[in-house]
Each structure stands twice: as C-alpha cells, then as structure tokens.
Amino acid sequence: MTWKSSFTDRAEDTLGRATLALKRRAAASATAEILRAIEDSGPSLARGVLNALEANIKDVLDRGRHIASERGSELPFRRSQAPRVTLETIVRRATEEAQLLGDRRVGTEHLLLAILSIHDDPVTHALRVAGVSQDTARGTLRRMSTAWTDDGLARPRASVA
C-alpha cells in the first residue's frame, strides 16, 4: 500500500509506525496501533484535538483493552464476531474524510476521524466513553485548523502591529 504523495509527513510516519507494530504483533488492533503511533509521533493536529477534548491516549488504550477482553469472554454467546478493522480500511476512510473536508492531503486528524467512524471496535468505543465522538472531534478540528499547517505543526500567528 502506498500513501506517500497524498498524506502529510506526520500521517505517513504514523501509518509507518502502525504498520510495523501490526507486522510484529499479528493480533494487534489497527485502531489501537494508529492511536499509539499518533501518541508517539510528536505534535500533530490529531493530538491537539485529543488534548483539547481532554482524552488521554494511554487511558483510552487501556480502556479499549479492557473492553476487548470483556467482549472476548462473551464471544461464545454472540452469534457473529465483528470483522477486524484493517489498516487499509482506516486509510480508505481517512482519504474520504480529507475529501469531505476539502483538504488536499490526508493528515493525522483524518486518521482520527476515520477511527471514530468505525463501529463495534473496542478502541473507538473507549474514545467515545472518553468524550471523543466524530461530532466533537470535527467541531474541535474546525476551531483548531486555522492555527495549524498541513504537516501538523503550529502555524505562526501573525502579529498585529
């Protein structure tokens, strides 16, 4: 899968880290690995949104693991297990999110919105419990986007003299 030309540098780094983690641990969750990579990749618009909404990524990942383990104990009673979310699915949804928002390139904020669009995923559920939904993330993103550049770095504010 290539995403080089249409993704920001920070988003490429995030996807690269998630891809490596998924190769090392086949049972890992794509949503969890992208969130972990967002946390480890330095400042980004996605981290800014999560910080503004007071969502701690480590707490969300812990809660997601807990939800997944609870669901695992219930699986014998469920008729069908939800299909695993793949990195390709998240990349496709992130690209759609960027197009919907009229952005030229896909950034970490689009990866976050893509994760939030997934239903029946423990990490997404944990994000919602922490108060991060697509609506709250989009609203926060709108407020913050004027202060950030395409590569996720803070845009210098023009001084008014």
pLDDT for 34: 95
Residue with the two structure tokens 């893509």: 114
pLDDT for 76: 45
**104: helix, coil or strand?**
coil
**Alpha carbon separation from 50 to 78, 111, 129 (Å, rounded):** 32, 12, 13
Give the integer Cα–Cα distance in Å for 60 and 34: 12
Q: Would you list the domain boundaries of the chain?
A: 9-145
pLDDT tens for each residue of 9-52: 999 999 999 999 999 987 789 999 999 999 998 888 899 999 99
27's CB contacts (< 8 A; 6+ apart) are: none
pTM: 0.81
DSSP per-residue codes, 4-58: TTTB-HHHHHHHHHHHHHHHH-TT--HHHHHHHHHHHT-S-HHHHHHHHTT--HH
Give the integer Cα–Cα distance in Å for 120 and 116: 10
Give the integer Cα–Cα distance in Å for 3 and 80: 33
Given CATH 1.10.101.10, say whether it is the number of domain 9-145. Answer: no
Whether residue 64 is predicted with pLDDT greater than 80 in this model: the reply is yes
